[in-house]
C-alpha cells in the first residue's frame, strides 16, 4: 500500500510544481463544476482578480458532495494529501457549506493553518467556525422581505402567492418567515405552500394560476436521489406553463423566464471573496477582517420576462441589474415583418403574373425563364415552383435544394406529388383537382420527402396562372413549428408518468361528454379509482417502485376499457374514468371487471395490489361535473371504509 501511494505521488508531482514567484491559491467548491451556482461564484472571483492585476497561481477543486459526506471527505483527504502536499497553499477560498466543513476537518492536517476565506455559507452562526482559526468570509442569506416588496410593487392586484421550496429545515423556516411577512402587508393575499421535489407533479398546480397570482422559488431543488434538479429546467417549465409571474431568491433561476428579485448572487459572493483575498495579498492580517454578515445580494431582473409580464422597469430600484435584454425590433415584430414581406412578395407575384396574362401564349415559356432568373423568384427562402396543369414541375427555385436536398434535375418534369409523404398524398391530390378548377390553396400542411430519406412539414399556397392554366406553388418549411406545437400539446394534455390524460385534460373531456349526454338524452357513467394502501407501498418499497406500479395499474385499466371510454390521472394514485352511454348496471359491471382484473394481475406478484372504486351516473338532480365527481368520490370513500378492494355506487 505504501509503494502504491508513492507511485501515485510521483504521477501527481507535475501538478504540485507551482511557481515560487506567484502566490498559490486554492478555490474549493462544494458542488459540481456543471452547476450554474458554482460557475457564477468562480466567475465572480476570476473577474475581480483579473481587474486587480495581481499575479497568482490558482487551483480549482470541486468536492461534488451528494450524500454520505463523511466517507467522501475521507477519500478526498487522501487524494488532496497526495496531490497538494507540503503546505503549498498561501490562501484557501471555500464556496458553500460542504467545502467549509471539509476545511474545518482536514485543512490543518494537510496544509496547516492557512488563512481561509469562506463564501456562500448559509444558516450561519458563530458555532459554525468553532475549532478553526485564521478564517473570515461572506455569509449567504435570502432577502425575503425585499423580494416580496418587489412582488407587491409589480402586482398591485395580487390575490395569491405560491411558495415552492425543498422540504428541509432552512427552507421551511424561510417559507414561514415569508408567510408571516405577507400577513403584515395584506390579510387578503392567500398564501399557497408547495413542498417536495416532484417537478412534473407540480406542473398541473402551476397551470391553474393566473396573472393575479405570483410564484416565488426559494432554494435549489433536489430529486429523490439527492441530485440537484437543473435550475434552467425548473425555471423554464414553470414560466412556460403558468400565466402567473415567477420570482426567485437565487440567481440560478435567471435567464429561464423567471423575473428575478433581490437574489442571492453567486457572482457577487465570489467577487466579495476575491476582495478579501486582495486585502490579504496586500498584507492585511485575516484576523482583522470582520465576517461580512450582510449577504451581498443584488436586485437582478430578467428584462425579457418583465416585458412579457407587462411590468415597467421604472417600478424597480434604481441600482437594479438587468439580464437577458428585451428582444430586438425584429424579434418583437417577427410576424409583422414576415407578413409584410409576404405581402410585398405576393404583390410582386401578382404584377408578374399580370404581365404573363397579357403576353402571347408562344412567349409564356420565355417569361417563365425570366421569373426563374429574377431575384424575387430565385432568392426567396420560400419554395417556389411552376407546374403544368397535369401537375408536372417545369420550373423551381434553389430553395427546393436548400430545404429538401433535391436538385433541379431530380424534380423537373416529375409530378409535383411524387415526393409527397404517402399518408398525405390522397388529400393533396384532391386539393390539386380543386386548384385546376380555379380554387386557391391556402396554408395546406403536408409532409414532403427529403433526399436524405427523412421528411419535412411544408405549408402550401397555390393558384392557377391566368392564360395557360399553369399551377403556381409557394411552400414554407414549418417543421420546427410543428415539433414545438406537438410537444406543447403533449405537455399540456398528458400525464408525465402514466402517459394518460392529465387532470386538466380529463376534466375537459368529462365536460364535453356531459354536454353531449345532456343534449341527446344519453346515459353517462363516471367512477373514481384509488389504489389501496399506496402510501404504504411507497414507504416500504420506495417511490421508484411506486411509480412502476402506477404505470402497470394504468395499463391494466386501459385493457379493460372501450375505445370510447376515457381515463385520466386525477392526482397521486387517484384516477377518474368517463363511460359514455353507460347506465348504472353497465358502469358497475365495468368497475367490477376492472377491480377483479387488477387483483388477478397482481395475485402472484411479490406486491399485492388492489383498487377501490366509487361509481355514479348522470341524473337530473346532479347534472354538473363538480357534483358528479363529488358523488363518485363519496362512493369511493364508502369502498375504502368498507374494507377496500370493492366497488360502491352512490
Q: What is the tens place of the pLDDT at every residue in 577-626?
A: 999 999 999 999 999 999 999 999 998 788 899 999 999 999 877 778 88
If you average pLDDT over each of 91-95, 253-257, 419-423, 605-609, which comes out highest?
Answer: 91-95
What is the CATH T-level fold of the domain 2-139, as seen in this structure?
A: Rossmann fold (3.40.50)
If you average pLDDT over each of 434-438, 448-452, 487-491, 646-650, which comes out highest?
Answer: 646-650
Whole-Å CA distances, 307 to 168, 228, 322, 649:
34, 30, 12, 52
What is the CATH T-level fold of the domain 144-263+296-324, as seen in this structure?
A: Rossmann fold (3.40.50)
Determine the pLDDT at residue 21. 57
Q: Where are the domains of the chain?
A: 2-139, 144-263+296-324, 335-482, 494-649
Fold match between domain 2-139 and domain 144-263+296-324: yes
The answer to whether the CB of 592 falls within 8 A of the CB of 626 is: no
If you average pLDDT over each of 323-332, 387-396, 550-559, which comes out highest?
Answer: 550-559
Task: Answer whether residue 336 shows pLDDT above 80.
Answer: no
Q: What is the tens place of the pLDDT at every residue in 237-262?
A: 888 888 899 999 999 899 999 999 99
Task: Return the H-helix or E-strand segment holding 297.
Answer: none
Contacts of 488 (CB under 8 A, 6+ apart): none
Q: How far is CA 638 from the centre of its chain?
A: 40
The torsion angles phi and psi of 327, rounded to 5 degrees, stand at: -60, 150
Task: Return the H-helix or E-strand segment holding 193.
Answer: strand 190-195
Mean pLDDT across the chain = 84
Q: How far is CA 509 from the centre of its chain?
A: 26
Contacts of 82 (CB under 8 A, 6+ apart): 5, 8, 9, 12
Whole-Å CA distances, 258 to 40, 167, 249, 289:
17, 22, 11, 36
269, 229, 296, 291: which is closest to 29 by C-alpha? Answer: 269
Task: Answer whether residue 4 shows pLDDT above 50.
Answer: no
Task: Answer whether residue 379 shows pLDDT above 70.
Answer: no
% of residues, the chain, pLDDT over 90: 47
Determine the pLDDT at residue 3. 42
Task: Answer whether residue 61 shows pLDDT above 50.
Answer: yes
Determine the pLDDT at residue 8. 41
Task: Answer whether residue 128 shows pLDDT above 50.
Answer: yes
**DSSP codes, 198-215:** -HHHHHHHHHT--TTEEE
Look up the pTM and report it. Answer: 0.50
pLDDT band at 331 (very low <50, low <70, confident <90, very high): low
Q: Please give the angle made by the CA atoms of 352, 357 and 359, to the nearest 5 degrees.
A: 95
Task: Answer whether residue 15 shows pLDDT above 90.
Answer: no
pLDDT band at 394 (very low <50, low <70, confident <90, very high): confident
Query: How are beta strands 190-195 and 160-165 bridged, if at all?
Result: parallel
Q: What is the tens place of the pLDDT at every residue in 308-325?
A: 889 999 999 999 999 988
**DSSP codes, 100-154:** HHHHHHHHHHHT-S--EEEEEE-S--GGGGTT--SEEEEE----HHHHHHHHHHH
Q: What is the tens place of the pLDDT at every residue in 193-233?
A: 877 655 566 667 777 888 899 999 987 776 656 666 778 88
Task: Answer whether residue 52 shows pLDDT above 60.
Answer: yes
Scored b (16 or more CB within 10 A) or e, 564-585 reads: ebbbbbbeebbbbbbbbbbeee
33, 38, 27, 47: which is closest to 275 by C-alpha? Answer: 47
Determine the pLDDT at residue 421. 83
What is the CATH T-level fold of the domain 335-482, as seen in this structure?
A: Beta-Lactamase (3.30.450)
Mean pLDDT to the nearest integer, 473-478: 83
Q: Among 32-36, 433-437, 516-520, 548-552, which stretch is predicted with the lowest mean pLDDT?
A: 433-437
Task: Return the H-helix or E-strand segment holding 531.
Answer: strand 524-531
% of residues, the chain, pLDDT over 70: 88
Task: Answer whether residue 132 shows pLDDT above 70.
Answer: yes
229, 221, 232: which is closest to 194 by C-alpha? Answer: 221
Cell numbers found for residue 611: 383498487
530, 513, 528, 505: which is closest to 618 by C-alpha? Answer: 513
CATH for 494-649 (3.50.50.60, 3.30.70.270, 3.40.50.2000, 3.40.50.10860): 3.30.70.270
Top pLDDT among 207 and 548 is at 548
Question: How many other CB atoms are found less than 10 A from the CB of residue 42?
Answer: 21
DSSP summary character for residue 229:
P
Task: Answer whether residue 362 shows pLDDT above 80.
Answer: no
Give the number of C-alpha atoms closer than 13 A to the C-alpha of residue 30, restricted to the C-beta side: 22
DSSP summary character for residue 55:
-
Q: Among 96-100, 373-377, 475-479, 596-600, which stretch is predicted with the lowest mean pLDDT?
A: 373-377
Alpha carbons 313 and 295: distance in angstroms, whole number: 24
pLDDT band at 143 (very low <50, low <70, confident <90, very high): very high
Determine the pLDDT at residue 11. 42
Task: Return the H-helix or E-strand segment holding 78.
Answer: helix 69-83
Task: Answer whether residue 66 shows pLDDT above 70.
Answer: no
Amino acid at each position: 500500500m505504501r509503494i502504491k501511494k508513492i507511485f501515485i505521488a510521483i504521477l501527481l508531482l507535475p501538478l504540485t510544481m507551482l511557481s515560487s514567484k506567484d502566490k498559490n491559491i486554492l478555490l474549493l467548491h462544494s458542488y459540481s463544476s456543471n452547476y450554474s451556482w458554482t460557475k457564477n461564484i468562480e466567475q465572480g472571483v476570476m473577474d475581480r482578480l483579473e481587474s486587480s492585476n495581481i499575479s497568482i497561481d490558482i487551483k480549482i477543486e470541486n468536492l461534488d458532495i451528494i450524500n454520505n459526506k463523511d466517507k467522501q471527505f475521507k477519500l478526498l483527504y487522501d487524494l488532496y494529501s497526495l496531490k497538494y502536499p507540503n503546505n503549498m497553499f498561501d490562501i484557501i477560498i471555500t464556496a458553500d457549506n460542504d467545502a467549509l466543513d471539509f476545511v474545518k476537518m482536514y485543512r490543518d492536517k494537510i496544509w496547516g493553518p492557512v488563512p481561509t476565506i469562506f463564501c456562500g455559507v448559509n444558516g450561519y452562526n458563530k458555532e459554525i467556525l468553532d475549532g478553526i482559526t485564521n478564517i473570515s468570509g461572506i455569509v449567504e442569506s435570502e432577502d425575503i422581505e425585499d423580494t416580496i416588496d418587489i412582488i407587491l410593487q409589480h402586482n398591485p392586484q395580487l390575490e395569491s402567492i405560491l411558495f415552492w421550496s425543498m422540504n428541509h429545515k432552512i427552507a421551511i423556516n424561510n417559507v414561514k418567515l415569508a408567510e408571516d411577512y405577507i400577513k403584515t402587508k395584506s390579510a387578503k393575499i392567500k398564501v399557497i405552500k408547495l413542498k417536495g421535489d416532484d417537478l412534473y407533479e407540480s406542473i398541473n398546480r402551476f397551470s391553474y394560476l393566473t396573472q393575479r397570482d405570483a410564484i416565488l422559488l426559494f432554494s435549489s431543488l433536489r430529486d429523490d436521489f439527492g441530485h440537484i434538479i437543473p435550475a434552467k429546467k425548473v425555471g423554464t417549465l414553470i414560466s412556460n406553463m403558468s400565466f402567473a409571474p415567477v420570482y426567485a431568491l437565487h440567481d440560478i433561476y435567471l435567464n429561464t423566464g423567471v423575473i428575478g428579485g433581490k437574489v442571492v448572487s453567486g457572482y457577487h459572493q465570489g467577487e466579495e471573496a476575491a476582495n478579501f483575498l486582495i486585502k490579504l495579498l496586500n498584507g492585511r492580517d485575516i484576523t482583522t477582517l470582520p465576517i461580512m454578515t450582510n449577504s451581498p445580494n443584488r436586485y437582478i431582473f430578467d428584462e425579457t420576462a418583465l416585458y412579457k409580464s407587462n411590468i415597467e422597469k421604472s417600478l424597480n430600484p434604481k441600482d437594479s441589474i438587468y439580464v437577458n435584454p428585451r428582444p430586438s425590433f425584429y424579434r418583437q415584430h417577427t410576424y409583422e415583418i414576415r407578413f409584410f414581406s409576404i405581402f410585398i412578395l405576393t404583390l410582386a407575384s401578382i404584377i408578374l403574373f399580370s404581365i404573363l396574362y397579357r403576353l402571347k401564349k408562344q412567349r409564356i415559356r420565355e417569361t417563365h425563364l425570366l421569373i426563374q432568373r429574377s431575384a424575387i423568384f430565385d432568392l426567396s427562402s420560400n419554395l417556389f415552383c411552376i407546374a403544368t396543369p397535369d401537375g408536372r414541375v417545369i420550373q423551381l427555385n434553389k430553395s427546393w435544394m436548400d430545404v429538401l436536398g433535391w436538385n433541379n434535375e431530380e424534380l423537373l418534369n416529375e409530378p409535383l406529388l411524387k415526393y409527397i409523404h404517402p399518408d398525405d398524398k390522397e388529400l393533396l391530390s384532391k386539393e390539386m383537382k380543386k386548384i385546376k378548377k380555379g380554387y386557391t390553396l391556402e396554408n395546406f400542411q403536408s409532409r414532403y420527402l427529403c433526399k436524405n430519406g427523412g421528411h419535412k412539414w411544408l405549408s402550401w399556397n397555390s393558384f392557377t396562372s391566368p392564360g395557360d392554366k399553369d399551377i403556381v406553388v409557394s411552400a414554407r418549411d414549418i417543421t420546427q413549428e410543428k415539433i414545438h406545437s406537438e410537444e406543447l400539446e403533449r405537455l399540456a394534455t398528458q400525464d408525465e408518468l402514466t402517459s394518460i390524460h392529465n387532470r386538466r385534460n380529463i376534466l375537459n373531456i368529462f365536460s364535453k361528454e356531459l354536454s353531449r349526454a345532456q343534449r341527446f338524452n344519453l346515459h353517462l357513467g363516471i367512477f373514481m379509482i384509488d389504489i389501496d394502501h399506496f402510501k404504504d407501498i411507497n414507504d416500504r418499497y420506495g417511490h421508484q417502485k411506486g411509480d412502476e406500479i402506477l404505470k402497470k395499474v394504468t395499463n391494466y385499466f386501459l385493457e379493460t376499457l372501450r375505445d370510447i371510454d376515457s381515463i385520466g390521472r386525477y392526482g397521486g394514485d387517484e384516477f377518474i374514468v368517463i363511460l359514455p352511454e353507460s347506465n348504472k348496471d353497465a358502469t358497475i359491471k365495468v368497475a367490477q371487471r376492472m377491480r377483479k382484473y387488477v387483483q388477478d394481475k397482481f395475485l402472484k406478484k411479490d406486491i399485492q395490489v388492489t383498487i377501490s372504486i366509487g361509481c355514479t351516473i348522470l341524473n337530473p338532480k346532479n347534472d354538473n361535473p363538480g357534483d358528479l365527481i363529488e358523488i363518485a368520490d363519496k362512493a369511493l370513500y364508502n369502498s375504502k371504509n368498507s374494507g377496500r378492494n370493492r366497488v360502491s355506487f352512490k
